[in-house]
Structure formats: structure tokens, C-alpha cells
Structure 1
Amino acid sequence: MMKVIIADDEIQVRRGLKMKAKWEEEGFQIAGEASNGKEALQLVEEIKADLVITDVRMPVMDGIEFARRCHRKFPHVKVIVLSGYSDFEYVRSSLVEGVKDYLLKPVAPDELAGALRRVKEEIVLEKKQLLESEKISRMVHTQLEEMKEQYLLQLVKEEWSEPFLAAERLQHLKLGFLAEEEKHVQFFTVELRASEEHSVKELWLPFRMLCKEIAEQYEGTCAYYDAGYSNMLHFLHCIDRKKPLETLSIVKKVQTYVKKYLKAETVIGMGKKVSNLTELKTGYISSLLAWSQSDPGLKSQVIDGTHHKDVFELSPDKEKKAANLIENGSLKEGRKLINDLLLEAKAGSMLSFSFAANRLLLLLESLAAKYDMDRAEINQTMWSCQQSIGELTAHEKVIEQVTEFAHRIILLVSKSRSSPNGLAIVENVRRYLDLNFANEVTLTSLSEQFHINSAYLSELFKLHVGQNFSDYLVEVRMKHACELLKDRQLKVIDIAYLTGYSNSGYFSTVFKKHAGQTPAEYRKAALNMDEIAGRERR
């Protein structure tokens, strides 16, 4: 029911109006009465009215002044003005904003019913358009969240290049705090555990939504999902020096809310505090490492890994060498390097060994996904390795599992490169572009990523896709740009950065060439189409 306020200084007139229409049948409910415009204005706010029927002549504040103020403060509220014969033409010609109809007193029942129906149609249409707009905003928000999660995963797995480019991207994804100097961040990993009657699969979506809602309550905090770790979400929290214990507050809230609303348990591993982009991977792995030391039972736990001493670090060069050996099919050399790295770490401490094994696992998981290993197989392998790492003394078992994982990736790469006419390679490249379209991608960087001659890759791509890689990349970027333009809140320059363009002018040129309209023209047309679609559905 739509809420109506009747405003007239004569109580008999108000009573008469209430009797002249079948309000509920018309879809309205009389929710309040006022004797002047000032009272009516207060009531509009209190009861969230949809329509006000007001007389022109009233003490304190007349109907015309009320209509003006109401439109400024509550633009969605409709107003029908009543006036006597002597004022009718003057009032009707005054064109007060927000007034939807003018009725002559005494009001005829059929004229009142007609005015109510016209107003109802307009309110229903506006509400449908608002719902459509909110739906589009939610879709765009979801897309932005996915982009944010994807980029966070790239950062914690060190799949990024120049820090200044990363800083720009972070700014437009509302993660600029990660690039600020002297800022400390902390990761914590949350695993959902449930009894048989409440399966983790059933609880996963509400668990994820709950964690996201909690993260949004704290500035500089976000929750993201890493497909390599089933039943787990990961939090990243920027530490406020004035609130040093805030991370613990978030952890406590997650455990309390999951237990209260989902009747489930959580196991949380708290990582070390880190201070810059290059240390994010260390912070992330330290939270995984803390989690891996949990007890296996169905009980909530918090494992604090913040006080771990410095552990063995794998240099980027060694990680890159390992990746190159695996992607080039050098099984013997790859096995030896992995074995040597883990044994070197083992010589330091059990913690160093676990840390190094986790870093290698992240590297292998990234390579497996790159070459399209079955996600369920990746997850199972990661989980088994994590369980072995958690045993702390199963060094030989961990080395065996990690090297076996590497061996399976080598076979996968070999199969991909021997596929008929290079089809599998092209599909891997397409998948990479679909995920990394917002990054700086060139044919040269792609050929280096997939260890293939750039000219040959270009030839293969055009053969199987029907267009060269740069045209395909533009198409992917423009598709995402079209979706993002439906959000009125995003500036064109933000959309340019989010789709891989550092210059908004160049982005607009490319967009117009692709869509035949400037971004602003496309946005206006898209919003108009949504309004037309809303009317048609009505």
C-alpha cells in the first residue's frame, strides 16, 4: 500500500476526502492528517509518505509553499493540490515543481479516483526503475568486487610488475592504502567447519556474505576467496595505529557471528604484520601457515602466527627459475631445484620448511590454473599438501607431494603444447586475457608468459580466434567497460583505469571506435533504455 497524507485546515474537508475514494482498492492507505503545510512536512518524513493531497489555503504554511519545500527535501513524494474556484486557474498555471495534479473543490469522486490512478502509475513506474537501477548497481558492484579479489590474489602471489602501476590500480579499486608508505597490514585466514547436519557446502554462501559484511564495517579491510583453499576466506586488514587491537576485534566478531547465525565453527590463522607490497605474499602465507597448525576437531580456534621469528625466504629469482624449469618441461632439473630449496629451508627450522613449502604451493597452484588443470584436482592437491605441511614432521612426504604436483603440471604443459594446431595454447592465452584484461598486456609479455615465440603465438591466435590478440583484448575490455558505465557513481576515468587504460582520453577514443558513441553518450543511452524497458514491463 502507498501511504497518503491529507492536509487541510478544515477537519470536515479531510473527512469528506476520506469518504470520496475507495482508497485500499486503489492501492492507497491514509497514513496521516495535517492542518497545515508545516505539519504535513513533518509527517512526510515520519511516515515515509508516497503522496500528499493538500489544500492551497492553510495557516502557518500554505499548500504551494509546502509543495515547493516537499519537492526540495523529498523529491520522490507526489503532491495533489486542491483549490477553490477563485484560485484554481492561478494555482494551475503556477507550475510548482513536484505537483502532479490540481483538483477543484469540492472534489468529485471520479476526478479524485482518476488523479489517484495517474499518481499510482507514476509511483509504480518510478519504483520499478529504482529497482532496476539498484539491480544494475549490484551487478556492477559484484563485478568490481570480483576485480578487487582477482587483483588481491595477483598481489599476494606476486603476479604483478612495476609498483607504480600497482599503486594506480589499487587506487581505483579502493585499495590505495596498500600502496601507502608506513602502512602495516595483516592477513588472517578463516576456515569454515560444520557438523554433518550443517554441511559446509550449504553454509558456504551465507558464510561468505557474512564475512564480506563484517569486512565492509572496517575501513581498510577486505575479504577475498582463493580457489586453491576450499572452505576458506582470507581477510586483509590495514592496521590503524590508534586501534592496534582492531584485527583481534574483527577475528572475534567473525567467530561469534558464524557460531550465532550459522551454527558453525571457524578456525582462524593470524599472519605476521607486513609493511609494503613486496611483503604481501609473506603476510598471506604466514596466515596460512598459522592455520595449518590447528587441531583437526570440530571446534573454533584462533592460531596466532604474528610472533613467528624470521623464516627462510624464497627469492623471486629462485621462484622464477622454478617456474621456468616446470614450464619448459625440465622434470629432472625442476625436481632437483624444488628438493634443494625445501631441504635448505628444512635446515633452518620446521617453520622455515613449512613456509617455503607454502610458497612453492602457491607458485604451483598458479601454474596449474594457468594451464587449465581441473580446479577440483588443484583443490584436492593443495588440501593434501597443506595437511602434510601441518603435520610439521612429514618433511619427506611434503617434498614428495610438491614434486609430484610439479610433475603433473609439466605433463599438462607438454600436452598443451602438443595439442592439434596449438588450440590448447590459444585457449590458455584467452583464459589469461579474460582474467588479466585490466593489466598491461602485450604480445611480447604473453609470449614470455607462455614460453612461445611471439610471431607464432600471434599466428595461432588469429587462426583459432579469428582476430588478433590486441583486437580480442580490446573487445574484452570494452565489454567490461559497457557494464561499468551503467553505474552512475563511477567516473569515466575510473572505468578507464579499471579496464586497463591509464589515459582516459585514449580510452574514450577506443570506446567510441568500438561502440560508435562516447562513454558519456553510451551511459545516457543505456540508462534511457533501462527506463524504457521498465515501462514496457509495466
Structure 2
Amino acid sequence: MKVLITDDEIQIRKGLRMKLDWEKEGFQVVAEAANGKDALNILNENEIDIVITDVRMPIMDGIEFVKQCQLKYPHVKMIVLSGYSDFDYAKSALQAGVRDYLLKPVAPDELLDALSRIRGEIEEEKKTQMESERINRLVHNQFEEIREQYLLYLVKEDWSELNITKDRLQQLGLEDFSNDHVKVQFVTVEIRDTEKNEKELWLPFKMLCKEIAEGAKGTYSFYDTNYANMVHFIRHLDEEPLTASSSFIQDLQRKVKQFLKLETVIGIGKVAVGLSQFKNGYISALLSWSQSELGSHSQVIDGSATNEMFDFSMELEKRLMNTIENVDHKTFETNLSVILGETTNQSMMKYSFVANRVLFLLGSLTRKYDIDSVEINNLIWNCQQSIWELNSQNKVNEQLVDLAGLIIENVIKIRASSNGAEIVENVRRFLEQHYGSEISLSLLAEHFHINSAYLSEIFKSQVGQTFSDYLINLRMENARQFLKDPQLKIIDVAHLVGFSNSGYFSTVFKKYFDQTPVEYRKSLNHVK
């Protein structure tokens, strides 16, 4: 604990130094001052925990000094010394901010007792502050995690309501990506190490990538658990597209090598224009990466430099998905044959691109209906490996057809369940991910290809709440979590949980918790 002694008499200051073995007791007298003005200058240049000050001093007395100190350095703890005649005056004039008043001459045990009490207060405050910062970091990390998960959702899952998607992007602070003509580029980075330390270094690698993204304008990182040892970047393009020689790519490779001693393989995807092309852009980065050489040496594969164009429209994706959800395996197989068949006369790279888009589509359906069994996951994994091999078209076609068949079988079982429990569980899982979007019962019914009246009935039967009550409750519980993050404004929290109007959000919040969002946030600070 660092201490400043302030008194106009040098003998008093020396006497205070001699009263204690400061170092032994855990204190350090770092400076002395003859008046309040000098003391303020010292506080401006040094980290001080405790100030011991006299009341009567020239230039700036102790009363004025304490008041100035409380305004400029509220964290500093004050001990005021005074003679008998000034003691009551000092106590009445300096009620706030002063931790102790000692009568001159000060006895050593009194001084040590006062210092020890203050040290206890400071240590407790620091402990509370550290815990508060830890909680704030956790809550803010939760927000960052939601944003990363949504970026992955955009490139892997089935989304067709463009307006809802744009709203969610704005809620998550990703409004740059909601523009119809936005240009983005994806970058895939894999770490490789001759000593096979990738697992131990995965978390530091992920954190480093996040720091690199935060330092690059319009750039965000996310990860896909289906691809080990990889982090993916999405970059909003205001300038020229990324290439192997771009400073972002060079810095990324250099920093991973410098800080983690790891080699990196980087795949640069093609420029994607508009949200509907995000999946194409993501897969093109993966395809670039898939062309890397084996071995633990750094590489950059720039797929954006090739002239071949990849395309897979949202309309085609929807048509294929409808064949699965309408349990029409034969039509799916026919459509797949047209898309991937030999008559299309497409290159191996384009074939791999289209096959990946179909595999992503089927994977999103397994998650939508929660049917990612061991058998299905193994089939997805084996199909992915076959695609990367670039010489197994027939095998890939068969695996995709088999996977579609398994999904259809499970969808039939789910819909045939007597009480609708599995359907409701799928809906609840969807709501937990999309509660911040504009969701209606009719939209959910359409999304899961069932009758809205039937969905309403089985939802209330299984959950014990109506759909709307459940959604509001889900939004309110998440709002409480977001309000713990001081970096988020009330309007930000309202948007994050699906309210366009902060006033209405406050009304609903108070109805649920008997406090407004502002009052709830203040109560959190009071507890700290």
C-alpha cells in the first residue's frame, strides 16, 4: 500500500515516518508534501492508496485538499490529523470520503490500527472490483459468443426470411453485413505443428485470432466445430479484396508464428456480394484451404484469384430442402442427379463446391430436427472426407442420397409421434437461438412444415405455456443477462431480445421483475 504524508512541518512528517516500520507492516511512504497543492501534484503523477494529511497548512489547507481529492481521486483513502482545537471542526467539515480522524500527537498503535483498517477496505474493494470485472467479461464474452454463433449460422444453416436476418445482424452490431450489396470475403486458417500440439494451443490460437479481428476494421472471427484446429474470418470489403500479399494475411501468419510457434495454412475465398452469397463465400474459402499441401509448413492458397465462378442460389437450396421436409426422397435424388451429374460438365472444384453446399444443407436439417445421431454424424464426416478427396464423385453422390434418406426417416418418426413432444422440443431449440428475431407462430409452423393450430395446441400441452408467453419469458431471462454487461445500452439490450421499442421493453421487463431495466442495473451495482 502506497502512502503520501502531507504536513507543513517537516518534523511532523519525519516523526510519522519514525512511528512505524512501514515496510514490515506492508506500507510504503512514497512521497511527502508541505501543503494540499503539492499533494495534488504528487497524486497526479503517482499511484497513491492512502493519504495522511494535516488540517492547518499554508497555500491549500487540509479541508480544501480533501475536497479536491474527493473530486479528482475518489479511490484514495484519507486519514486526517488535527490538533485538539480543530478536531471537531475537521470531523464536521469532512464527513464524506475521510476514513479516519486522528488527534495529534498520534500514537503508533492508533496510526497502525487506522492504516490496517483502511488496507482491509482497499483489499476488499479491489477484490469486489476484480469480481465485477470478471462478471462483466463473462457477460460480454457471452455477447461475443452469440455474435460468433450467428455468423456461423449464416454460413451453415437454413435461413430464408431475409428481413429477420437483417434485423438480427443489426441487433448484434453487424449492420454492415445487412446491406444488399455488401461485399465480404472469408478466410479460413488452420494451425499445423510437427509436434502435434494443436489441441493444447487451440484456445490461445482462437483468442489470438479474435484479437487480430478486433484490430482489423470490419473483420470478425468465428469457428466451426466440424473443422478441427481452424478459425474463420469474415471481412467487410471497403477496399481491394484480400490476396496472399495483403497485410492482413501476412500479419495473421506472422503473429501465429511469433506468439504460438505454429505454422498456418490459409485459404482465401472468393468475394461474396450480398447475404445470399455468404454460404458460397465460406465454402470457397474452405475449398481454397483443401488445396493445401500435406505437411507442417505455412501456406496461403488464394482461391479468389481463379476465374471459375461458383454459384448455388437460395432458391435451389430451398427447393432441395423442401423435398426432404416433404419426405420426397425420390425427387431429392432426381434433383441431386441434375445438380451433381455428369451432364452438368463441371470442373472438380465446382463439383466439390456444390457437393459441400448440399452437405451443409443436410447438416442444417439434422440440427433443425435434432437428429444428429452417431450414424448420421459418421455419414456426414465420411461424406466430407470424400468431397475433399476430389476423386470420389460417385461415392459422394451415394453418401448424400443415403444421408437424405436417413433424415427423411427421422422426420417421419418425429411427425408421427402421438404427443408431439419432439416437434415441440425442436421448436423450443429454435426459439432459444432466434428469440431476438421477429417470430410468429405461423412462421414457426411454416418453418417446420406443420399446421399452426396444431403447433399451438401441442406447444401449450407440452410446455404448459402458450407460445407467446414462453417467448416473452425467454426474452426477459436473456435480457437480465445482457443488462449485466455495462457496455450495452438499454436500447441495445431491447434490440438484442427482440424489442424495437425500448419503452415497451421497459414496460414488459417491469411487469416481469417489478423493476425497470435501469433499476435492475442499478441494483446490480449496489450489490457490488
TM-score, normalising length: structure 1: 0.89
Structure 1 CA distance, aligned partners of 2:64 and 2:222?
52
Offset at residue 325 of structure 1 (A): 1.1
Map 1:230-245 onto structure 2 (within 5 A): 230-241=228-239
Select the residue among 405, 408, 413 that pairs with 1:407: 405
**Where does residue 385 of structure 1 map in the other structure?**
383
Structure 2 CA distance, aligned partners of 1:297 and 1:400?
31
> Aligned in 2, Cα 1:435/1:164: closer, same or farther, shift over 3 Å?
closer
**AA of the residue aligned to 1:29:** Q
Q: Deviations over 1:148-197 (max 9, x none)?
A: 11222233347445555444433332222223576532210112333455
**AA of the residue aligned to 1:131:** M
**Where does residue 53 of structure 1 map in the other structure?**
52
**Where does residue 20 of structure 1 map in the other structure?**
19
Structure 1 CA distance, aligned partners of 2:254 and 2:353?
29
Moved more, 103-112 or 426-435: 103-112
- Give 3-state SS (helix, strand or coil) of 1:272's partner: coil
Q: Find out whether 1:441 has 2:439 as its counterpart.
A: yes
**Where does residue 313 of structure 1 map in the other structure?**
311
**Where does residue 299 of structure 2 map in the other structure?**
301
- Give 3-state SS (helix, strand or coil) of 1:268's partner: strand
Q: Contact 1:186–1:238 at 8 Å: present in 2 too?
A: yes
Q: Contact 2:338–2:344 at 8 Å: present in 1 too?
A: no
**Where does residue 187 of structure 1 map in the other structure?**
186
Structure 2 CA distance, aligned partners of 1:59 and 1:385?
84
**AA of the residue aligned to 1:173:** L
**Where does residue 136 of structure 1 map in the other structure?**
135
> Aligned in 2, Cα 1:171/1:423: closer, same or farther, shift over 3 Å?
closer
**AA of the residue aligned to 1:101:** D
Map 1:254-293 onto structure 2 (within 5 A): 254-293=252-291
Moved more, 240-249 or 275-284: 240-249
- Give 3-state SS (helix, strand or coil) of 1:302's partner: strand
Q: Contact 1:228–1:379 at 8 Å: present in 2 too?
A: no
How many aligned residue pairs are there? 528
> Aligned in 2, Cα 1:420/1:163: closer, same or farther, shift over 3 Å?
closer
Map 1:54-133 onto structure 2 (within 5 A): 54-58=53-57, 61-95=60-94, 98-133=97-132
Q: Contact 1:8–1:58 at 8 Å: present in 2 too?
A: yes
- Give 3-state SS (helix, strand or coil) of 2:524's partner: helix
Q: Contact 2:359–2:380 at 8 Å: present in 1 too?
A: yes
Q: Percent identity?
A: 55
Structure 2 CA distance, aligned partners of 1:375 and 1:425?
17
**Where does residue 202 of structure 1 map in the other structure?**
200
Q: Deviations over 1:428-458 (max 9, x none)?
A: 2211111111122221111112112222222
**AA of the residue aligned to 2:120:** E
Structure 1 CA distance, aligned partners of 2:310 and 2:201?
37
Select the residue among 358, 369, 372 that pairs with 1:371: 369
Q: Find out whether 1:227 has 2:204 as its counterpart.
A: no
**Where does residue 32 of structure 1 map in the other structure?**
31
**Where does residue 176 of structure 1 map in the other structure?**
175
Offset at residue 386 of structure 1 (A): 3.7
Offset at residue 245 of structure 1 (A): 7.4
**AA of the residue aligned to 1:212:** K
**Where does residue 251 of structure 1 map in the other structure?**
249
Offset at residue 253 of structure 1 (A): 2.9
Structure 1 CA distance, aligned partners of 2:360 and 2:280?
11
Offset at residue 278 of structure 1 (A): 2.8
Moved more, 474-483 or 304-313: 304-313
Instruction: Give RMSD over aligned pairs.
Output: 2.9
- Give 3-state SS (helix, strand or coil) of 1:348's partner: coil
Offset at residue 77 of structure 1 (A): 1.5
Q: Deviations over 1:251-306 (max 9, x none)?
A: 33332333333333322111122343333222222211211211232222211111
Structure 2 CA distance, aligned partners of 1:224 and 1:345?
37
**Where does residue 484 of structure 2 map in the other structure?**
486
Q: Contact 2:362–2:403 at 8 Å: present in 1 too?
A: yes
Structure 2 CA distance, aligned partners of 1:330 and 1:358?
21
Structure 2 CA distance, aligned partners of 1:308 and 1:246?
13
Structure 1 CA distance, aligned partners of 2:228 and 2:491?
36
Q: Contact 2:36–2:57 at 8 Å: present in 1 too?
A: yes
Offset at residue 506 of structure 1 (A): 2.2
> Aligned in 2, Cα 1:330/1:116: closer, same or farther, shift over 3 Å?
same
Select the residue among 497, 506, 510 that pairs with 1:508: 506
Offset at residue 382 of structure 1 (A): 4.7
Q: Contact 2:243–2:268 at 8 Å: present in 1 too?
A: no
Offset at residue 96 of structure 1 (A): 7.2
Moved more, 56-65 or 311-320: 56-65
Structure 1, unpaired ranges of 5+? 532-538
Offset at residue 137 of structure 1 (A): 0.9
Q: Contact 1:190–1:266 at 8 Å: present in 2 too?
A: yes
Structure 2 CA distance, aligned partners of 1:344 and 1:12?
99
> Aligned in 2, Cα 1:161/1:315: closer, same or farther, shift over 3 Å?
closer
- Give 3-state SS (helix, strand or coil) of 2:305's partner: coil
Q: Find out whether 1:423 has 2:421 as its counterpart.
A: yes
**Where does residue 323 of structure 1 map in the other structure?**
321
**AA of the residue aligned to 2:487:** Q
> Aligned in 2, Cα 1:7/1:163: closer, same or farther, shift over 3 Å?
farther
> Aligned in 2, Cα 1:23/1:374: closer, same or farther, shift over 3 Å?
farther
Moved more, 458-467 or 97-106: 97-106
**Where does residue 358 of structure 1 map in the other structure?**
356
Q: Contact 1:365–1:378 at 8 Å: present in 2 too?
A: no
> Aligned in 2, Cα 1:440/1:377: closer, same or farther, shift over 3 Å?
farther
- Give 3-state SS (helix, strand or coil) of 2:341's partner: helix
Select the residue among 512, 521, 524 that pairs with 2:522: 524
Offset at residue 320 of structure 1 (A): 0.7
**AA of the residue aligned to 1:369:** R
**AA of the residue aligned to 2:325:** E
Structure 1 CA distance, aligned partners of 2:145 and 2:34?
53
Moved more, 283-292 or 24-33: 24-33
Structure 2, unpaired ranges of 5+? none
**AA of the residue aligned to 2:231:** L
Structure 1 CA distance, aligned partners of 2:54 and 2:238?
56
Structure 2 CA distance, aligned partners of 1:245 and 1:318?
30
**Where does residue 536 of structure 1 map in the other structure?**
none
Q: Contact 1:36–1:62 at 8 Å: present in 2 too?
A: yes
- Give 3-state SS (helix, strand or coil) of 1:226's partner: coil
Structure 2 CA distance, aligned partners of 1:248 and 1:113?
62
Q: Contact 1:346–1:352 at 8 Å: present in 2 too?
A: no
Structure 1 CA distance, aligned partners of 2:254 and 2:379?
31
**AA of the residue aligned to 2:390:** L
Structure 1 CA distance, aligned partners of 2:11 and 2:296?
70
Q: Contact 1:193–1:266 at 8 Å: present in 2 too?
A: yes
**Where does residue 457 of structure 2 map in the other structure?**
459
Structure 2 CA distance, aligned partners of 1:10 and 1:381?
85
- Give 3-state SS (helix, strand or coil) of 1:228's partner: coil
> Aligned in 2, Cα 1:331/1:220: closer, same or farther, shift over 3 Å?
same
Structure 2 CA distance, aligned partners of 1:474 and 1:299?
52
